[in-house]
A and B are shown apart, each in its own frame.
Chain A
Amino acid sequence: MKDTLDENNPRKAWMGLLAKAPEGRVAALLDEAIARPAFNWLRAPEIGTTMVRARAGATGAPFNLGEMTITRCALTLETGEVGHAYIQGRRKADAEAAALVDALMQTDAATKLREVLLAPLEAESATAKAARAAKAAATKVDFFTMARGED
């Protein structure tokens, strides 16, 4: 079981990256990189939700926090690879692009896509996160002790 998990880790990582990419970004990078291959839908893009769960006291028993919108789809390339997408929001075109990338990452196109699509997405996400973290850090309180007057 552990082996299967490890084996799936790269795919988990790219699917997560694709799910969180800003609107239109995956499609733009994909179309810059390659001509889209032909494919057949296994499941046309559909909009739904997932129930987001959390834990009481952050670590205790789970409870239902509320839902979030999700778009999902699945497709198969003519060469047989199956691509899945589960992405945040109501974004059918983005789901299609994400599923195509997921399928193409199982083909010879993987090296190229990793370089021109996944790497830039990851870098952009890291930059955005770092910028936010840096603004938060600037609001960190530096306490100092006031010297008491001696008399």
Chain B
Amino acid sequence: MYVAVKGGERAIENAHAWLAEERRGDKGVAELGVAQIREQLALSVNRVMAEGSLYDPDLAALAIKQARGDLIEAIFLIRAYRTTLPRFGASEPVDTGAMACDRRISATFKDLPGGQVLGPTFDYTHRLLDFKLAADGEVAEAPSREAAAGDVPHVTDFLNREGLIEQAPHDDTPPPDLTREPLEMPADRALRLQALTRADEGFTLGLAYSTQRGYGRNHAFVGELRIGSVPVEMDIPELGFAVEVGEVTLTECETVNQFTGSKTEPPQFTRGYGLVFGQTERKAISMALVDRALRWEELGEDNVGAPAQDAEFVLYHADNIQATGFLEHIKLPHYVDFQSELELVRKLRREAGVDQVAEAAE
């Protein structure tokens, strides 16, 4: 419990004034513009959009500036802002098969239709610091090559044709929404996917890694990873038809997992799914692994007691705003609470006769 404590107003005002000054840093150094953050720290912007659960690169960049680069603080700002906005509706489910791919790779098939397209990736870089970036360097235009027209098919489509992989049959059940109804167990897959796509990247990565190391092992291959933009179409009630209202960049990861069959399912490859706002591939791969681990029950697998199989554990601890809110509140004044704890410890010590012993020793 925390109670209102008076008398800190001046200190708080001054602390905030100093925070603003520290945020600006040395005034001899040029101020960072929101557009610079949006364009040059795009992967931070993407993370803030994904975990803030609001696609708006300018807002995410502003939040990063205001939060002095603290991404969880920036996500907090975005979540708070989002609650002030009315929701006009929901989109048609986006068609990732029609994605304009910047990147599309498969770890399972070398020669796949559409090819392996690396895109703007850190993969195969040497991870050596580039001191040229410390000086201001002009960047050469990236090479171009004639692109093939048409949609890039999903890798799972090929395996589907042989019947070797679990299907994801079309379904139009309206999904539950954890931003409208509190997250409750049991959570169906739609709810789990919503929680995972906005979950903390570090937490999701750690859980995914734990499944690779054997805690709920289900040996995942990245069947396909694709990054690119898809149009978002929304039904406009006053018009009576759907129109495209914009475009979002997404990262999609489909894992193909070993599966020897269970009481209910034949031996086949199973799937985990990750889909995240922005270019966010570490998060999307992690999401797919955790999604797959959480599917043990519907696939008739054993619960081996691994953390990543425990939906309640995963989903109730994956949100970094809930987590940080509860964690950080313990630094706020708890004077009354602590006073009662003090009284209790003194009473217990009296009852145990500790104080008499101390007196006798003097």
Contact = CB atoms under 8 A, between A and B. Distances in A.
Specify which of B93, B111, B231, B277 lies most central, judged by the most chain A CB atoms within 10 Å of its CB.
Answer: B93
Interface stretch (B21-29, B125-133, B214-222, B234-242): B234-242
B177 A64 contact: yes
B59 A69 contact: yes
Nearest to B277: A66
Interface residues of B, number: 85
A74 B236 CA distance: 12
A61 interface: yes
Contacts of A69: 54-56, 59, 85
A93 interface: no
A53 B194 CA distance: 9
Given A52-B232, A58-B254, A136 B119 contact: yes
A133 interface: yes
B273 A58 contact: yes
A49 B52 CA distance: 13
Contacts of A51: 87, 89-91, 177
A61 B145 contact: no
Interface string B42-66: 0000000110011110110000000
Contacts, number: 231
A62 interface: yes
A4 to B, nearest CB: 8
A8 to B, nearest CB: 5
A5 B241 contact: yes
A57 B246 contact: no
Nearest to A130: B147
Q: How large is the interface on A (under 10, 10 to 19, 20 to 34, 35 or more residues)?
A: 35 or more
Greatest chain A CB density within 10 A among B94, B121, B245 is at: B245
A52 B248 CA distance: 9
Most buried by B among A12, A54, A132, A143: A54
Interface in B144-200: 144-148, 154, 156, 168-179, 189-191, 193-194, 197-198
Given A51-B89, A69-B54, A133-B100, A57 B273 contact: yes
B168 A57 contact: yes
Contacts of A136: 101-103, 117, 119, 147
A63 interface: yes
A58 B190 contact: no
Contacts of A56: 168, 189-190, 193, 273
B55 A59 contact: no
A68 B85 contact: no
A64 B90 contact: yes
A131 B142 CA distance: 10
A95 to B, nearest CB: 11
A75 to B, nearest CB: 12
Nearest to A43: B238
Contacts of B116: 140-141, 143
A137 B145 contact: yes
B143 interface: yes
10 cross-chain pairs, A with B, having the tightest CB-CB distances, nearest first: A88-B246, A57-B168, A16-B244, A60-B168, A134-B144, A68-B55, A137-B147, A133-B147, A63-B190, A61-B171
Interface of B: 49-50, 53-56, 58-59, 82, 85-94, 96-97, 100-103, 110-111, 115-121, 142-148, 154, 156, 168-179, 189-191, 193-194, 197-198, 231-234, 236, 238-248, 250, 252, 254, 271, 273, 275, 277
10 contacts: A16-B244, A20-B246, A50-B234, A55-B168, A57-B273, A65-B250, A84-B236, A136-B101, A140-B116, A141-B115
